[in-house]
Amino acid sequence: NSPSPITIAAGDSLRLERGIITAGGLTVDGTLILEGNLTMSTPTMTVNPGASVLVRSASFANASATFTHPLTVSGTLRLMSQNTTPAAVNFGTNALTIAAGGTLDFATGVAENHALSAASIDNNGTITFGSSAAVTGPIAQRNLMTVSALKTATLSSPLTLFTGSVTTNLGTLAL
């Protein structure tokens, strides 16, 4: 916890295992690894191009991350599992924006059926379902979305397709 802004420099990483993370702001230029049950309670958080936020279930803990603020991802937000429990991310009443060049990746791992919930999801970049996942919150699909073979993307809110968007479904897209 810090009242000052925190920056994770390119090439550096920070691994957080559990608790409530408060800071005057968080800028990710490197890699932020979230494991265990965490609440990201910063007034702002920036994920810059080339940076990664990994929400990862690991051998010792599940991964459940709650964000108390909207988030724009210009790098990568990846949900992944190294144990038998899927990863989960909750934005509550806040929005998730995948910027042009940014990626939301439901990664292949030990567990399937990751979960993400947000008030809205605005995809100007890429959403990849390499693992089955459930998404709660309306999606404005403006660029690329891919559901891999034998995987299921379960969307419990409207999916709006905009001109120029491309949705590749090799698996199952359940609306």
DSSP string, 66-80: EESS-EEESSEEEEE
Contacts of residue 163, Cβ cutoff 8 Å, sequence gap at least 6: none
Q: Which of 113, 106, 156 is nearest to 136 (CA)?
A: 156
CA distance linking residue 26 with residue 4, whole number of Å: 9
How much of the chain exceeds pLDDT 70, in percent?
A: 97
Tens digit of each residue's pLDDT (9 = 90 or more) over 55-71? 998 866 788 999 999 99
Could you tell me if 128 and 149 are in contact, meaning their C-beta atoms sit under 8 angstroms apart?
no
Could you tell me if 27 and 48 are in contact, meaning their C-beta atoms sit under 8 angstroms apart?
yes
Tell the residue number behind the tokens 């995948």, with chain if given: 98
How much of the chain exceeds pLDDT 90, in percent?
A: 78
Task: Tell me what pLDDT residue 4 has.
Answer: 86
CA distance linking residue 91 with residue 70, whole number of Å: 7
Tens digit of each residue's pLDDT (9 = 90 or more) over 4-36? 899 999 999 999 988 998 988 999 999 999 998
CA distance linking residue 135 with residue 38, whole number of Å: 19
